[in-house]
Amino acid sequence: MKNIFADRMQATRKSFIREILKVTQQPEVISFAGGLPNPGLFPVEEIMSAASKVLSEEGRSVLQYSTTEGYLPLREFIAQRYLKKSGLNIDPDEILITNGSQQSLDLIGKVFLNKGDRVVMEKPGYLGAIQAFSIFEAEFEAVPLLEDGIDAGSLDRILDGNSAKLFYTVSTFQNPSGITYSAQKRKDVAAILKKHNVICVEDNAYGELRFAGEDLPTIRNYSDYTILMGSFSKIIAPGLRMGWICARKEIMEKLIVAKQAADLHSNYLSQRIIHQYLLDNDLDGHIAKIKDAYGKRRDLMVSMMAEHFPESVRYTKPEGGMFLWVTLPEGVSSLELFELAIEENVAFVPGDPFYTDDNSGSNTLRLNFSNSDNEQIEEGIKRLAVCLERLMGNVRRANAQHGP
């Protein structure tokens, strides 16, 4: 049969995580797989009263079409928060409200990427960005992540050899690794990108969720040649689908055209509910509760892994966010571990889909700690440890028989 689909669909993979989530939704499965915020912390009552207020007081206007840029008082709130939290001076006109930061990635792709354009990604990198940019038939260049952020020397060398349109980073509590760039690394990255004239896309979806250590400036603080992305998904609720892009005016003009063509504007009722919620509640107080809960879960997961995992298994100890990253000894496959774990009703995401090249990361995996309770973390990590012992024992026996 003739191929009826656009070329761009050939280049784009189905999200492996969405597929896994289907398997892991059975109630008996302890899932560290999804990237879900904890629903126990959603401000349901507060959202209910914000919704009731905007609908009862301004029902006719909040159900009407609205502007592409987004509700101005909401953009003003975001701009003021940048000033207060990061010392960034952002004009509300440099902010575009989007349908979650996943749409921000799509719009950025539309505005910048021609077929074959190069995008530098982190290795491992955020799967949703790999997918969003693949739609525009981008070529990826992946630069390894070190403990303090991207390998800057490698980034510089890659850009020396061949320029790129964009560098995409989740610089704070990265998805999937939990890694955070040091202040020096942020400064170095800004300088390298400036030197090569490459735009930085800084996705700060998790930046507010710091439960240990000190806040750091964004890369945007070091270079306004940065497109900064934010989202209410992890600090209020993802179902409202509300994020934003913060970019200089000449970029914003193009983004607004792309947004108009995509959906006219983001859900106006959602924008008004969020804004009312922000007026009537203490966002910092709410975020403090989330950070406290996630910090405790991370501590428990890390201490359970220290107690039960074989010593040769390494993992990150993130100071915020929702994920940590596990590296198994060389030659031990996280896909094989996944198969064993699923039999024991435990799920995680094998590292492979977070890599844009085919042969790396087969011994890595991502664990989410935000969406499990203490009992699930304790039991899930114990079961994983048993699977690991079994798998690593098998690998040792195979090596002993056939040589490594």
- For ligand PMP, give the closer residue by CB, 101 or 334: 101
* Candidates 86-94, 96-104, 151-159, 184-192; binding stretch for ligand PMP (CB under 6 A): 96-104
The structure tokens 């990061």 sit at 86
Q: Does 34 bind ligand PMP (CB under 6 A)?
A: no
Q: Does 258 bind ligand PMP (CB under 6 A)?
A: no
Please say whether the beta carbons of 219 and 226 come within 8 A: yes
Q: How far apart are CA 24 and CA 254, in angstroms?
A: 40
Q: How far apart are CA 404 and CA 396, in angstroms?
A: 9
* Candidates 98-106, 152-160, 194-202, 247-255; binding stretch for ligand PMP (CB under 6 A): 98-106
Q: Does 128 bind ligand PMP (CB under 6 A)?
A: yes
- For ligand PMP, give the closer residue by CB, 102 or 356: 102
Angle at 126 between CA 117 and CA 159, to 5 degrees: 40
Judged by CB under 6 A, which of 32, 71, 112, 126 binds ligand PMP? 126
Judged by CB under 6 A, which of 24, 68, 102, 372 binds ligand PMP? 102
Q: How far apart are CA 271 and CA 268, in angstroms?
A: 5
Q: Binding string to ligand PMP for residues 131 to 160, with x set by CB under 6 A, is what?
A: ------------------------------
SS3 345: coil
- Helix intervals (H) in 171-309: 183-196, 249-263, 268-280, 283-308
Q: Does 231 bind ligand PMP (CB under 6 A)?
A: yes
Please, what is the minimum distance in Å from the beta carbon of residue 243 to ligand PMP? 4
Q: What are phi and psi of 77, to 5 degrees?
A: -60, -45
Q: Does 101 bind ligand PMP (CB under 6 A)?
A: yes
Identify which of 60, 66, 90 has the alpha carbon closest to the alpha carbon of residue 252. Answer: 90
- Helix intervals (H) in 309-363: 334-343
Judged by CB under 6 A, which of 35, 70, 124, 207 binds ligand PMP? 35
DSSP structural state of residue 136: T
Please, what is the minimum distance in Å from the beta carbon of residue 68 to ligand PMP? 18
Identify which of 404, 386, 387 has the alpha carbon closest to the alpha carbon of residue 395. Answer: 404
Please say whether the beta carbons of 369 and 324 come within 8 A: yes
* Candidates 100-108, 142-150, 185-193, 386-394; binding stretch for ligand PMP (CB under 6 A): 100-108
- For ligand PMP, give the closer residue by CB, 100 or 353: 100
Residues that bind ligand PMP (CB under 6 A): 35, 100-102, 126, 128, 170, 175, 203, 205, 231, 233, 238, 243
